[in-house]
Amino acid sequence: MITVRKIVCVAALLCIASTGLAQRSSELSDDFPDAHTMAVQDKVDSLFDAGDFERAFFIYINELAPLGDKYAQYMVGYMYQTGLGVVEDPIAAAAWYQLAAERDTREFVVVRDRILHVMDQDDADRSRVLYRELRLRYCDLAVLFASIKRDLAELQERTGSRLGDRSSPVTVVGSRSGRFREGSNYYSSIEKELKARIRLLKEVSGFDDLDGDPNRINIRDLERRVLQKIESESS
């Protein structure tokens, strides 16, 4: 039997459909979504439309939501609320809706506010606790920092056994595109992206003293500061 709550949620989903793809373009990275990510998005949409909800839920929560894909984060909440592909859990649904709405996108804010409004205080409080936990991993600032940390680690590999040094002629497979690229060009591209992400992190975090030179970044100290920033904004 279809409940009134599910009907309301489906209506909200229809309203969001026209803006879903726009939300998938991360405001924190010019290179997202890449070709691989877009292929995953197309695949999961097809699975959902075909009624393969368990596989769709797995991809939304494990592959797309961790990338900062707000539409995917919304869909995780929607599937938790309706019990499609996962055990129905309104508390988890509310937490994921809050995460999806962190950019104040009107459609997502409406859904978030609606579910919190009908919850009793205990459940609403529990959902906010879970939301704070999700923010530490999947909010925009956390995703941006994770991409910086990943880029730094990949650049460090250029001095290892795979390439030898920055000027190595060895061809590597780019993790972003899956294409073969000459080693020096590949790492130059990563370094360029890394510097852009560091500038963006400085802007969105308010860390005015953050050095833009990747070689001067203390990644552990930066991680501590990012976590403190996320926690302070979640309280």
CB 172 within 8 A of CB 162: yes
- With both helix axes pointing from N to C terminus, report the angle between 70-82 and 106-118 in degrees, rounded to the nearest 10: 30
pLDDT single digits (tens) 159-194: 553 333 444 444 444 444 444 455 567 788 888 889
206 or 28: which leads in pLDDT: 206
Q: With 90 as the cut, is the pLDDT of residue 8 above it?
A: no
Rounded Cα–Cα distance for residues 177 and 173 (Å): 8
Q: Set out the domains of the chain in order of their start, with CATH numbers.
A: 4-138 (1.25.40), 140-234 (no CATH)
Reported as a single tens digit per residue, the pLDDT across 26-47 is 555 555 567 888 899 999 999 9
Average pLDDT of the chain is 80
Residue scoring higher pLDDT (153 or 60): 60
Residue percentage of the chain with pLDDT more than 90: 57
Torsion angles phi and psi, residue 168, rounded to 5: -60, 135
pTM: 0.76
pLDDT of 56 higher than 90:
yes
